[in-house]
Amino acid sequence: MYAIIRAGGKQTKVQEGDVIDVERLKTSGAVTFTPLLLVEDDGTVVSDRGDLAKAVVTAEVVGEHRGEKVDVFKYKSKSGYRRRQGHRQTYTTLQVTKITTGGAAKGKAAEEAPAEDAPAEDAATVKKATAAKKPAAAKKATAAKKPAPAKKPAPAKKPAAAKKATAAKKPAAAKKATAAKKPAAAKKATAAKKPAAAKKAAKPAAEDQEA
């Protein structure tokens, strides 16, 4: 099993018993890291953050030393700028003592084990289950195929039409009645006016005779 850890801004692949150099750590004794990736002996890869948070890589500080000297030279053309300096990085030597998964891989194996060990269902039980499901599916299909009942015509429209017809006929009948009554009234008025006119005509004739 191996793990990948981050130390000093760099990632390093480690196994139990490895001795590595990382950038200076101002500490002593045991040091722990949270792995970025875990690979089991059987090839199982653990990359989930929740599972990796439970895993721990433990290392022990062995000592410190300085690395090789690095020359640093700065140069700018056409300006006469020249700078030269050296640098030696201090490293801390660590020895990896233990890599614990924290139950991350075990939990996954436990979840997969019941699925593998679960006995397969008998063919008879499978047939019963399918036979029980088929009638329900057939009922749903028949219920879906049944046509919806035809909508009955609304009976409220007939009285409304009858009312409109009667309402339309009533004014015409009233108009006919008033039209029939008007000539009779006119005749009465003319009959009443005629004797008065005759009387007026008779008066001048009597006056002429007297004269």
Claim to verify: residue 23 and residue 95 sit in the same structural domain:
yes
Domain region containing 100: 2-69+87-111
| Domain count along the chain | 2
Residue 106, pLDDT above cutoff 60: no
Claim to verify: residue 100 and residue 200 sit in the same structural domain:
no
The answer to whether residue 199 is domain-embedded is: yes
Claim to verify: residue 7 and residue 94 sit in the same structural domain:
yes
Claim to verify: residue 6 and residue 100 sit in the same structural domain:
yes
Cα–Cα distance, 65 to 20 (Å, whole number): 12
Cα–Cα distance, 119 to 28 (Å, whole number): 54
**pTM exceeds 0.85, yes or no:** no
Q: 48: which 2 tokens?
A: 């989930």
Q: Which residues pair with 85 in a beta bridge?
A: 72
Claim to verify: residue 199 and residue 100 sit in the same structural domain:
no
Q: What is the pLDDT of residues 164-204, one digit of tens each?
A: 545 445 554 445 545 445 555 445 555 545 555 445 555 55
The answer to whether residue 133 is domain-embedded is: no
The answer to whether residue 189 is domain-embedded is: yes
Claim to verify: residue 95 and residue 178 sit in the same structural domain:
no
The answer to whether residue 124 is domain-embedded is: no
The answer to whether residue 6 is domain-embedded is: yes
The answer to whether residue 43 is domain-embedded is: yes
Cα–Cα distance, 4 to 20 (Å, whole number): 12
The answer to whether residue 21 is domain-embedded is: yes
The answer to whether residue 140 is domain-embedded is: no
Share of the chain above pLDDT 70, in %: 48
Cα–Cα distance, 61 to 29 (Å, whole number): 5
For residue 77, give the 3-state DSSP assignment.
Answer: coil
Residue 67, pLDDT above cutoff 70: yes
Claim to verify: residue 106 and residue 11 sit in the same structural domain:
yes
Cα–Cα distance, 47 to 53 (Å, whole number): 10
Give Cβ neighbours of residue 175 (< 8 Å, ≥ 6 apart). Answer: none
Q: What is the pLDDT of residues 3-59, one digit of tens each?
A: 999 998 899 999 999 999 999 999 889 999 999 999 998 989 999 999 999 999 999
